[in-house]
Amino acid sequence: KTMQNKWKINLNNFMKTFAFIFARGGSKDIPGKNIRNLGGKPLLAHSIMIAQNIDEISRIFVSTEDQDITEVGIKYGAEIIERPVELAQDDSPEWLSWLHAIKWLEARGEFFDCFVSLPTTSPLRNKTDVVNCINLLDKQTDIVVTISEASRNPYFNMVHKEEDYIKLLIEGEKSYSRRQDAPLAYDMTTVAYVAHLDFIKNNNKIFDGRVKAALIPKERSVDIDDEIDFKMAELLMR
């Protein structure tokens, strides 16, 4: 088994891996979020700098429609992909931006094997988190995502409303009086996404394929979506 694992890692080393950071200019909850200062650097810079420290990643691209983000991306050493404005709206599916980035490069004769997305919203990730995701991608796996232990459990303390009353989100024959007894549940995080190109090209969403997950500690899984998340990230970074 040890030899098999070493061989798998060696095969990954032969793959040409590009990293992508998809950063649009608009953000309703945190204006200018992607270039807002966190720990002395723009939020975007944290994703770029992690990618620069990973040997498996040979090139780093920022996909954006925003000039300020473009300037920050170039300053920190990333290449820029011009993202169409229609793919940078609040309701624009991220998957379409993934497809656009791949096609944009291939139209310029740039081909690669492994796609890595490092969202700006997870600035507390570390190098090991990303490398583990890359190493989990094998021939039998289409995409690797990241997860952390859930704070709420749909079998125990997650509910939905039915008119004036609430019910458990998942109800079964067995009820659980302690959270520890309920089946384990996980939150998907935005620490990293690693995928084969053919999977992205021929599908429409993550769970169209065979999905593996890397478990990330909660302290590195903060997903910045609003001001409270941002303040939590600042606190943990300090």
The first and second tokens of residue 78, run together, are: 């990333």
Decide if pLDDT at 11 tops 90: no
Q: Work out the angle at residue 167's Cα, subtended by the Cα atoms of residues 170 and 158, and round it to the nearest 5 degrees.
A: 55
| Whole-angstrom distance, CA of residue 5 vs CA of residue 55 | 18
Provide the CB-side half-sphere exposure for 115 (13 A, CA): 28
Average pLDDT score, the chain: 91
Evaluate if residue 230 carries a pLDDT over 60: yes
Mean predicted confidence (pLDDT) in 86-90: 88
Residue 4 scores a pLDDT above 70 = no
pLDDT value, residue 45: 98
Between residues 157 and 3, which one has the greater pLDDT? 157
Question: Tell me, what DSSP letter sits at residue 48?
Answer: H
Residue 27: its pLDDT value, please? Answer: 73
* Segment 127-155, tens digit of pLDDT: 999 999 999 999 999 999 999 998 888 88
| pLDDT tens-place string over residues 181-213 | 888 889 999 999 999 999 999 999 999 999 999
What are the structure tokens assigned to 23, written together?
């950063």
What's the Cα-to-Cα distance from 112 to each of 8, 55, 148, rounded to whole Å? Answer: 18, 15, 29
Whether residue 228 is predicted with pLDDT greater than 70 in this model: the reply is yes
pLDDT for 180 equals: 82
Question: Which pLDDT score, from 0 to 100, does residue 195 have?
Answer: 98
> What is the per-residue pLDDT for 170?
84
**Given pLDDT bands bounded at 50, 70 and 90, which one contains residue 158?**
confident
Report the pLDDT value the prediction gives residue 214, as an integer from 0 to 100.
Answer: 97
pLDDT at 157: 82
Which residues of the chain form beta strands (DSSP E)? 17-22, 37-38, 41-42, 57-64, 79-82, 114-117, 143-149, 159-162, 165-168, 186-196, 211-215
